[in-house]
Every structure is written in C-alpha cells, then in structure tokens.
Structure 1
Amino acid sequence: MGCDGGTIPKRHELVKGPKKVEKVDKDAELVAQWNYCTLSQEILRRPIVACELGRLYNKDAVIEFLLDKSAEKALGKAASHIKSIKNVTELRLSDNPAWEGDRGNTKGDKHDDLQRARFICPVVGLEMNGRHRFCFLRCCGCVFSERALKEIKAEVCHTCGTPFQEDDITVLNGTKEDVETLKRRMEERRVRAKLEKKTKKTKVTESVSKPGVTEECPGPSKMKAGRPEETDSKEKKTTSAPKGAATSGSSSGKAGKPACAAPKRSIADSEESETYKSIFTTHSSAKRSKEESAHWVTHTSYCF
C-alpha cells in the first residue's frame, strides 16, 4: 500500500509507541532557578529573600502570598512551609560589575549570555549562576559561595562580622538531599521554639499565682496610717483612756460627768510627726510673740 505519491509508510509512522521522556534543558532550568521568583515566576528584584529550604523569592510576592486568605493559591505548594514573614531572610547580595542587564543588547545585534549572573561572591568572585554552590547565613543574610566558606574557615561573617554557627548556613537551590536536611533542621527549629514559648508561659503563670507576692507588698490602708507600730500604740492608748476616766469619776463622785466619756487629747502631746502637728494652731510654730503680732488699730487715712 502506498500513498498518493507512491511512497511506502514505515512501521513507526503507523504504530504509535510509548512517548519519549522529554529531557529538561539544564541551562534553562538554572536560569529559572537563579533569575526568577519561585512563587510569582517573575524576575528577581530587590529586596530578595530566601526561605529555610534555600529557595529564592521576591519579598513582595511573599507578603502577597501571606495576605491572601483564599483557599486556592497559585503555586502555593512552593511556599506552603512559609507561615510568616519571620520564616524568610532578606539577602545581602553583591552586584556583578560585568553584568550589563537589559542595556547590553538594545539594538538586537548581540548575543544575550543567560549564564552571566547579576550577583557574585564577595570573597572569591564566583558568579551566582548555578554552576557553583552558594549559601547564605540565616543570622545576617550575607551570601557567599561554598568554596569561600571552606577555604577561609571562620566563625564570623566575612563581610559584616556577625558570629554564626553551622546550623545558620543554608544552601541556595540545593539538591534533593540538601533540601531534605534543611527540612529536618527547619522542623527541629520550630519544635524547639514552641517548647521555649511553653516554658516562658508556665514561668509567668507561676510567678503570678504565688501567694507570697501579695503579702509582701503592703496595702493602701497600712501605707496611709504610717508605721504599723504607731497604729498599734494609738489603739492601745485609746482603749486604756476610758478605763482611767471611769475610775477617776467614781472616786471623785461628781455628778453630771459621764463615766464613759474619754478626756480630750491635745495634738501636741500625741506621737504624730512634727509636720503633721504644724498644721494646727496649737503648734509652737503657730504661736507668735507680742512684738510679732500686729495691733488691732489700723493706721489708714479714713480712720482719723
């Protein structure tokens, strides 16, 4: 059997076999990972942040994702582990002086090198294009190549001087094994933070519920009366005064004076403070001599 042109079809043209697995272009994959936001698929622009798994995002896209309360979110699986803005770190990136951006090929007569990176390692000078492994520090956000951290071993950041630990180093766009280790670290870190919050709450509740705290601080009634010893002495004197009056009344036998009436106490004889006694006219400071006191006759012009 032949076609109109006399050609004979072959077997692979008539029988459909299994589909071939499409190979992903590695260069295109690297460009997508290092130049575009994982969440919004837009070109990365400052401020650029990275999550605890080492993926790159635009900060605006992360904020919009967190504010969006709808059930169906576009590309929500890529950022499902981000619960708040504290789960991402803003990166401090060093610009590549050899990168021209969109200005290099305005006329269209040049070849755009997609492997030319916008950022470089500030220590070694390697370009951050996916050919070399890069990582950032969670404590400060500075980005370095892994070669720089291995060759120049230090416990302090090379640019800002912030001390860091091995747990703070996070690989950017790592392999599946790197992502698994980072995920395990992230879960352990979050469990540890929850336990710390619980311990703080229990300490606060215990300090509030202690009965001795309320007894230590005196109430307002005791503070107004002054010292507690003085109040006790005053109460004893007032209780002892009516008994003395009753005995004196019975011995004298004078009628008209009630036996239960207490004698009047002068404030000058009381045990109050001098500042309190100075309020009254019976205090020595209120008394004036004859020379200090003015005469009742006024010397105005209308009196003569």
Structure 2
Amino acid sequence: MGCDGGTIPKRHELVKGPKKIEKVDKNAELAARWKYCALSQEKLRRPIVACDLGRFYNKDAMIEYLLDKSAERPNIEAAVHIRGIKDVKELNLTDNPAWEGERANSKGDRYEDMHCAMFICPVVGLEMNGKHKFCFLKTCGCVFSERALKEVKTEICHKCGDPFEEGDLITLNGTKEEVEKLQQRMEERRAKAKSAKKSKKSKSAETVSKPEDSEAPGPSSSVSGSSSSVASSSSASSSAASDPSSKDTKASSSSAIGSKRSVQEMTDKSEVFKSLFTSHSSAKRTKDQTSNWVTHTPYHF
C-alpha cells in the first residue's frame, strides 16, 4: 500500500513502540554545574562565591537575591539555605593559561574543547571542568583539587599560607551524599554559633548584675559605717567644744545651705532675666484671666 508519492511506509512509521528514555548529555550537565551560576543561570564571572553546600554563584546575582527575596527568580531553591552575605565565601581562583575565552572560536572554524575550563588547581594543574573533585577552604576561599590535598598533606593553605582544619574543607558540586553531609555539618555549625551567642548574652548579663550587687552595702558594712559615723561625730563634738570659733563658721555654712534665695530678690540680675521665671509678676494671672475648664481644642484663654 503506497502513499500519494509512491512511497511505501515502514513498520516503525506506522506502529508506535515504547518511548526511548531521554538521557542527559554529560558534557552539558558538567558545563551547567561548573560554568554557570546556580541562581541566575548566567555564565560565571568574577567575583564568584560559593555556599556551604558547594554551589557556585555570581556575587552580583547573590546580592540581588539577598536584597529582594520576594522577587520571582528561577532556581530559587538553590539559595534557600543562604540567610546573608556571611553564608557565602568569595573564591580565590587560579586562572587557566590555556583558556582563550569564548571569542577564540567566534568563526566556528576551530575545534572547541568542551572540557577546557577557566580555572585550574594551583598545585597539580588539573582543570576545574567537573572531571576531578575540587574543594575550597571556608577560612580563606582558596580552591584546590582533592588530589593535591591528598598528595601534599598539610594544615596550611598551599596558596596563601593560612592555617585550616579538616572541617573547613567544602567539596564543590559534590554528589547527593556529599551534599547531605555538608548540609548536616552546616546545621551543626549554625546551632553551635547560636548557643555561643546565648552564652555570651548570659555572661554579659551576669557581669552587669555583679557590680550592682557589690555596691549594695551588707550588714557588716552598715555596722562599720555606723561605728565610724559615731566616732566622727564624737570627734567633731570634742573639737567644737575646744574651738568656739568653729561653731560660728558651721552655723553660717548651714544657714547658707538651708536658705534658698529667690531670683526676684537678686539685685545683680536684670529685669529681663527675672521675667524668664514663673515667679515674676508678669507670669501671674488674675482670677478673670484664668479659666476653670479645658477642652481638647480650647478657644477660651
């Protein structure tokens, strides 16, 4: 049985078989994880930051996300665990001298190596293209391959010389199991930081309350204070009895302290200065000028 053009259809064109399982291209998957931002899906460009789970982000895209988290963005689940700029670390990457950039094959007449990466390991020289495991230090942000850390075992960074611990190593774009371990470690670190903050607050509250308690006089201090006051009063009375002139000076000082002099009685002050006070005659009102009721918006003065 033929068609209009005299062609004979084959069996696979008439009978529909089972659908083939779609497979992800490995090269495309590696390029998406190692050459593009996990949040904005744009190509990675300096400055580049990484989170505690080992994902790459462009720093400007991360700042935009933190400033406005309500905006609708694709792949927002890749940055849900990030609370602030302190949760990411800027990476100290080493450029690849063999990288010619994207414009090197603009005409399309050259072979384009998909595995050529922008950055390499500064110790071994492996390219950071996803075929080899890489990790970064949370203390300084330097990036190395896992092979370099195994071959040259040290507790000091190979690039900047800062000391680090094993817990500061974070694997970049790891497997699901590695990401789960990193997430568990991140939650433990945040719980420790929260408990440390609470302990600091409690210690500061204790230090504030201690000086207040020390300043409060106890029973022994009150007894000693009363005895000293009695001794001082007795000595003062004996000195006063021996020296009669001291009585006059004390009486004059006590009268000067006890009596309050009014501003209106001061002769050295001007009338303008005296009118500033309520005791001046201009501030006093007669009965006709005062009112016995007040409203929210009084019209009677």
Change (3 A) 1:265 1:42: same
Deviation (angstroms), 1:18: 4.8
Q: Which has the higher Rg, Structure 1 or Structure 2? A: 1
How do 1:148-297 residues align onto structure 2 when only pairs under 5 Å count? 148-210=148-210, 211-215=212-216, 234-240=232-238, 244=241, 263-265=244-246
Measure how far apart 1:20 and its partner are: 2.9
Q: Where does residue 61 of structure 1 map in the other structure?
A: 61
For residues 109-134 of structure 1, what are the alpha-carbon distances to aligned partners after superposition, in whole Å with 9 as ceiling and x for unaligned?
32332211111100001111111111
Instruction: Give SS of 1:57's match.
Output: strand
Q: Partner letter of residue 178 of structure 1?
A: E
Give how far 1:9 is off: 4.8
Q: Give the 3 Å change call, closer, same or farther, for CA 59–238 of structure 1 in structure 2.
A: same
Q: What secondary structure is seen at the aligned counterpart in 2 of 1:136?
A: strand
- Deviations, residues 132-151 of structure 1 (Å, cap 9, x unaligned): 11111111111000000001
CA positional deviation for 1:199: 1.0
Summarize the Cα distance change of 1:230–1:149 in structure 2 as closer, same or farther, 3 Å threshold. same
- Which whole-Å CA distance do the structure 1 matches of 2:233 and 2:101 have between them? 92
Cα offset for 1:2?
5.2
SS of 2:144's equivalent in the other structure is: strand
**Distance (Å, rounded) in 2 between the aligned partners of 1:52 and 1:195:** 20
Aligned length: 241
Distance 1:69 1:173, change over 3 A: closer
Give how far 1:215 is off. 4.0
Q: Tell me which residue corresponds to 1:80.
A: 80
User: Is the counterpart of residue 132 in structure 1 residue 113 in structure 2?
Assistant: no
Identity value in percent = 64
- Displacement of 1:236 after TM fit? 3.3
Q: 1:47 to 1:236 in 2, by over 3 A?
A: farther
Could you say which residue in structure 2 is the equivalent of 1:32? 32
Letter in 2 for 1:264: S
- Aligned amino acid, residue 167 of structure 1: G
Larger deviation, residues 173-182 vs 13-22 = 13-22
Displacement after TM superposition at 1:101 (Å): 0.4
1:71-105 CA distance string (max 9 Å, x none) = 64432101001011111111111111111103422
What is the SS of the residue equivalent to 1:201? helix
State how far apart, in whole Å, the 2-side matches of 1:107 and 1:76 are.
36
- Distance in 1 (CA, whole Å) between partners of 2:238 and 2:177 is 90
Secondary structure, counterpart of 1:42 in structure 2 = coil
Instruction: Show structure 1 runs of 5+ residues with no match.
Output: 217-227, 246-261, 267-304
Distance 2:9 2:54 in 1: 52
Q: Which residue of 1 aligns with 2:91?
A: 91
Q: Which residue of the partner structure matches residue 296 of structure 1?
A: none
Structure 1 residues 21 and 61, CA, compared in 2 at 3 Å: closer, same or farther? same
TM-score after normalising by structure 1: 0.70
Q: Label 1:264 to 1:13 Cα distance change in 2 as closer, same or farther (>3 A).
A: farther
CA–CA distance in structure 2, aligned partners of residues 213 and 18 of structure 1: 86
After superposition, the C-alpha distances for 1:261-281 in whole angstroms (9 at most, x for unaligned) are x92229xxxxxxxxxxxxxxx
Q: CA deviation at 1:191?
A: 1.0
Partner Cα distance (1:13, 1:40) in 2: 42
